[in-house]
A = this chain, B = another copy of it.
Amino acid sequence: MQKVAFIGLGIMGRPMAANLVKAGFDVAGYSRRRESAEDLLAAGGRWAGSVTAAVRDAHAVITMLPDSPDVEAVALGPDGIVSNAPSGTLYIDMSSIRPDVARRVAAAGAARGLRCLDAPVSGGERGAIDGTLSVMAGGAAADVDAARPLLDAMGATILHVGPAGAGQTVKAANQLIVAGNIALVAEALVFLQAQGVDVAAAVAVLAGGLAGSTVLTRKASSMLAGDFTAGFRMELHDKDLAIFTAAAREARVVTPLGGILAQLTGAACAQGDGRLDHSALMRVIQRLCGLLP
């Protein structure tokens, strides 16, 4: 049975690690707080007392951490993965971080004989629990193939999108489009409500044509109901748009909508809505219109 180290047992990491156990892997987990490992232990996994202990004899290492500095610390620190995992280990970072950091980690790992992938996901907590995440993987094709049994245990769609960093690049683009769709739907809903339109009928007709989107189908009714319980937290989406705009700037890509969207998620966080669902961009629009206190 293949040994897997899983670092980062948060809202996403917990069910992902449990799904690996269910698929027959021997999973040793580590997280900052030991309590986070309870689900993993219940599923039949083990607790590793430290990153070093977790990775020392692993065939594969997976990280699922909040932000770029976390991955840098866990991957590149003296007690971290690159310094302590055996040569030949497959290291898959599934966090959403900056593409340039992903490329740096991959280069450092390669220098020590690790086979590194950046493989961020979409699909949210629901997809993590159900094992139906979409995985966008960057790295060598052979390493993506080697990782497939692991990734298949956690996701429904596994796509190799390019070399190191490409997974994070695609994830950044994903977050641009999602934030943009939420903001567009928010502007449209506030506009329709202000005009005395039958909004439910309007949403039905919009969803059926070229304006249709997954955001409109899944999020419009909770947005209209003012239900913004996360879900995917605004503050994480704000972080992701900072990643997107920085990566776009680095690549000399001009993004008029990306620029304004980063301001809007920033406004949501500054206004105290950082822990609400990202669909709470609607509240920024409502405040701009004087419709919220």
Interface of A toward B, CB cutoff 8 Å: 99, 122-124, 134-136, 157, 159-163, 165-166, 169-170, 172-174, 176-178, 180-181, 183-185, 187-188, 190-192, 194-198, 201-202, 204-206, 208-216, 218, 242, 244, 247-249, 251-264, 266-267, 269-272, 284-285, 287-290, 293
**Of A123, A136, A293, which is in contact with the most chain B CB atoms at under 10 Å from its CB?**
A136
Asked if A211 and B177 make an inter-chain contact with CB atoms under 8 angstroms apart, the answer reads yes
Q: Would you list the 5 A-B pairs with minimal beta carbon distance, nearest first?
A: A213-B213, A122-B209, A177-B211, A254-B288, A271-B290
Determine how many copies of this chain the complex contains. Answer: 4
* Smallest CB separation, A23 vs chain B (Å): 21
Please tell me which one of the listed residues B166, B177, B216, B261 contacts residue A188 in the complex, with CB atoms under 8 A apart: B177
- Which residue of B is nearest A177, CB measured? B211
Asked whether A190 and B263 contact (CB < 8 A) given A134-B205, A169-B195, A211-B181, the answer is no
Inter-chain CA distance A197–B174, complex, in Å, is: 13
Asked if B264 and A252 make an inter-chain contact with CB atoms under 8 angstroms apart, the answer reads no
30 intermolecular pairs with C-beta atoms under 8 Å apart: A122-B209, A134-B205, A157-B205, A157-B208, A159-B201, A160-B201, A161-B201, A161-B202, A162-B201, A166-B195, A170-B205, A174-B205, A174-B206, A174-B209, A176-B188, A177-B213, A178-B211, A181-B210, A181-B211, A187-B257, A191-B251, A191-B255, A194-B253, A252-B266, A252-B270, A252-B290, A256-B264, A256-B288, A270-B290, A271-B288
Inter-chain CA distance A259–B212, complex, in Å, is: 21
Asked if B184 and A180 make an inter-chain contact with CB atoms under 8 angstroms apart, the answer reads yes
Please tell me which one of the listed residues B184, B260, B287 contacts residue A176 in the complex, with CB atoms under 8 A apart: B184
* Smallest CB separation, A181 vs chain B (Å): 7
Chain B positions within 8 Å of A249 at CB level: 242, 262, 266
Asked if B253 and A289 make an inter-chain contact with CB atoms under 8 angstroms apart, the answer reads yes
- Which residue of B is nearest A123, CB measured? B209
Chain B positions within 8 Å of A187 at CB level: 176, 248, 253, 255-258
Please tell me which one of the listed residues B134, B173, B218, B288 contacts residue A270 in the complex, with CB atoms under 8 A apart: B288
* Smallest CB separation, A234 vs chain B (Å): 13
Asked if B206 and A173 make an inter-chain contact with CB atoms under 8 angstroms apart, the answer reads yes
Inter-chain CA distance A293–B181, complex, in Å, is: 28
Given contacts A99-B195, A173-B206, 4 further A-B contacts (CB under 8 A): A166-B195, A174-B210, A270-B290, A287-B287
